[in-house]
Each structure stands twice: as C-alpha cells, then as structure tokens.
Amino acid sequence: MTSNSRRTYMTRDAIASRLFHTEAPSDLFNHPSMVSAMKSCILVKKVGRSLGFPCRTISTAQLLVHRVHIFQPSASFSKYSSSDLGAACLLVAAKMEETIKKLRDILTHSYLLFTKSEDSEFEPQSVPTSVTDKMRASVLSAEQFILDAIGFDFRTTHPHLLYTKLAKMSGVSNQIALSGWLILSDTFFTTLPIQYPAVVMAAGSLALAWNLELEPKGTSRFVIRALASHSSDSRHTSPHRSHNGRDSRSSRNPYNAGRNGSAGTSRKLPRKRPMQSLDMAINWWTDFGVATEDMQGFVRQIVDFYLLFFNSAMAPPEYMERHKMGLPSKEMSQRINQWRMNLVPLFSTK
C-alpha cells in the first residue's frame, strides 16, 4: 500500500500545500488539477444519474476524483482526460458500493452525454463497438491509476444517510430539508469531503439550510462568527487543527476516531437517544461530537464556493462556464449571496 492512503482527512491548508507546494493561501479552484477534478465530477454526476446510480455511488465517485487529483495532482490531468478519469472513478465507486453496472453502459452513456446534442435521441445501443473499445482501454488504464493513487484505500463517507436522519429529528420543513440536501450534494464538487467526516458535512448542510430561512437577526451565532472571521482571515484554518492535516482534538471528540485512524468514516447517531427532536436554535451538533469550529469552517467554505458563481460580471470566465454545466445550482448561489449581504451589518456585532 502506498503512502497516499496515510490520511483519511486533511485540512484545507494541507491540501493547498500539496497542490501548490507552498503554505501561502491559494485559491484551490484555480489549480489545474482542481479544474480537471470539477470536470470529472460533472461527468460523474451526469452519467451516474443517467444510469440510475444511487447518490452514495455518485458521491463516492466524486470523492475518488478529488482524492486522486490531490494525491497525484500532476499526473491526474496530464495522463488522462477528465472524461476517462470520471468514468473510471464511477466504475471503481460502483464496485465499492456494490451497485455494479457493465463497463459498456458507463462508456456509452458517457459518450452520448458529451458528444450528442440535447435534441438528438439518446440511444446507447447505437454507439459502435469500435468507439467503446477505444474508450475501454483508456478507462481501464485510468482505473488502475486510481487504485494506485489512493493506495487501495476504499474507505469512504456517506453523509446523505446521516443527513436524512438529522433532518427527520429536527422536524424542519420539506423546503429546508431539500435545500440542505442540495447543499450537501454540492459539497462533493469541492474538497470538503476530504476535510470533514460525514457527520460534520450532514450537520453543516442542515444548519446552513435552516439559517437561510431565518431573518438576519435570528441567524445562528456560529454562522455570524464564521462569515465575519473570513473577512479578516482567508486561510480557512481552525485553531484546533495541526498543520499536518490531523485534528489535535481527536482524544476529546469521539467522531475523530474515524478521522485519523482505521475506524469507519460513517458516524452513527447515538443509540441511546433514537430519533429524539433537535433544537435547531442551539448548538445541537455538539451532542454528536462535532466541534463548533468545524461547523464554522464547513459553512465558511461552502458559502465561498457558492459565491464564486453568483455574479457573472465578477466571476472569471472559467467559473461561469462551469456554472452553465450545473456547477453549482445558480439559484442557490444567488440565494446565498443575497443572504450573506443581509448579514453584513451583523458582522460588527459578532
């Protein structure tokens, strides 16, 4: 097993250091490896939905995409195209999640989705064998590259199941639950699944979706502090994280057992308190071993991700090109931008 399997989770600074070979703050989304990763994630989601893969398989494939591009930042986009790497990650994820599809099905759907116009008929059977045979060789080669890059470490994370349980326990409206689900799904276009366990992602998505429905004065204190602190600190670091990507609070927080070691990465809800209600107005996540600092870091980064896309006049052309492909939801980007602007007067009183 290679040394690339050494960490289950890394801080944002550790990821930036690996990509840019520097400790200086950098925009991860501008790195060629991350641009390639986003393209692969778009393919994974489109092909995965077309083939009827469950969300856990699609999310696992997107997680593999980012792990490969972080562990092998140069080779990942220089040796293989985004489509080949995305198809290979989907193939590996399907095996990991035991939702196996034929390789030809993945290849034909991938080929049709990105070569045919939207008006043309979608007929996978019409794709010539010569086309899929040519794609097969490169995708199988990419599959071996992925396995080597991740060190055959098949640990993954499934925050969607946790999110569903938390949403039911909180008793939030369907609109809030759907908004949180969209936010959670969009996190897999970023490096957040590399940085945080499933319980942080599920709790952070639900808390952010709930705050979007509140009046500015009713916004949770941790959200105000997270967004206000970002105006003076762009490094997205937490004072409780060590520089090597491990969390120094692992001995105190139970969810960090899976964060640093070989334990499973799917955090289970406490058995002694089945389906009890959650009070969304307080720091309920601490009952599940989630630190408020991690919630702040998660919210700050996912909000920044959405804000990259909301304004076509300010965003770079490459961002808007990704926006046209559905990355991320334009409606959610505009909604979060307006919400954050309404919170600005509160930053001075944090």
Domain boundary, last residue among 149, 168, 199: 149
Residue of 211 and 6 predicted with greater confidence: 211
- Per-residue pLDDT at 253: 37
The rounded radius of gyration (Å) of the Cα atoms in the chain is 20
Do 231 and 108 lie in one domain? The reply is no
> In angstroms, rounded to a whole number, what is the distance separating the alpha carbons of residues 171 and 177?
9
Omega into 316 within 30° of 0, i.e. cis? Answer: no
> Where residue 132 sits, what CATH number does that domain have?
1.10.472.10
Do 106 and 141 lie in one domain? The reply is yes
Evaluate whether residue 228 is within a structural domain: yes
Q: What is the pLDDT of residues 43-60, one digit of tens each?
A: 899 899 989 999 999 999
Do 140 and 236 lie in one domain? The reply is no
Do 54 and 163 lie in one domain? The reply is no
> In angstroms, rounded to a whole number, what is the distance separating the alpha carbons of residues 54 and 45?
10
pLDDT band at residue 122 using 50, 70 and 90 as cut-offs: low
Which residue range is the domain that position 40 belongs to? 31-149
Give me the helix-helix angle, 129-149 and 82-96, nearest 10°.
70
Mean pLDDT, range 79-84, rounded to an integer: 85
Evaluate whether residue 3 is within a structural domain: no
Q: What is the pLDDT of residues 301-325, one digit of tens each?
A: 998 888 876 655 545 555 555 545 5
Do 231 and 132 lie in one domain? The reply is no
Q: What is the pLDDT of residues 7-20, one digit of tens each?
A: 468 888 888 888 87
Number of domains in the chain: 2
pLDDT band at residue 251 using 50, 70 and 90 as cut-offs: very low
Do 205 and 268 lie in one domain? The reply is yes
Q: What is the pLDDT of residues 252-293, one digit of tens each?
A: 333 333 333 333 444 455 444 444 677 888 889 998 889 999
The residue among 306, 314, 313 whose CA lies nearest residue 330 is: 306
> In angstroms, rounded to a whole number, what is the distance separating the alpha carbons of residues 74 and 70?
9
pTM: 0.79
Do 142 and 163 lie in one domain? The reply is no
Do 168 and 128 lie in one domain? The reply is no
- Per-residue pLDDT at 121: 58
Evaluate whether residue 7 is within a structural domain: no
Q: Which whole-number Å values give the CA distances from 33 to 20, 72, 167, in the listed order? A: 10, 9, 34
Do 196 and 289 lie in one domain? The reply is yes
> In angstroms, rounded to a whole number, what is the distance separating the alpha carbons of residues 37 and 41?
6
Do 133 and 208 lie in one domain? The reply is no
Domain boundary, last residue among 131, 149, 167: 149
Domain boundary, last residue among 97, 116, 149: 149
Mean pLDDT, range 211-232, rounded to an integer: 79
- Per-residue pLDDT at 266: 43
pLDDT band at residue 220 using 50, 70 and 90 as cut-offs: confident
Do 175 and 290 lie in one domain? The reply is yes
Mean pLDDT, range 201-211, rounded to an integer: 94
- Per-residue pLDDT at 87: 93
- Per-residue pLDDT at 267: 46
Do 122 and 71 lie in one domain? The reply is yes
- Per-residue pLDDT at 235: 42
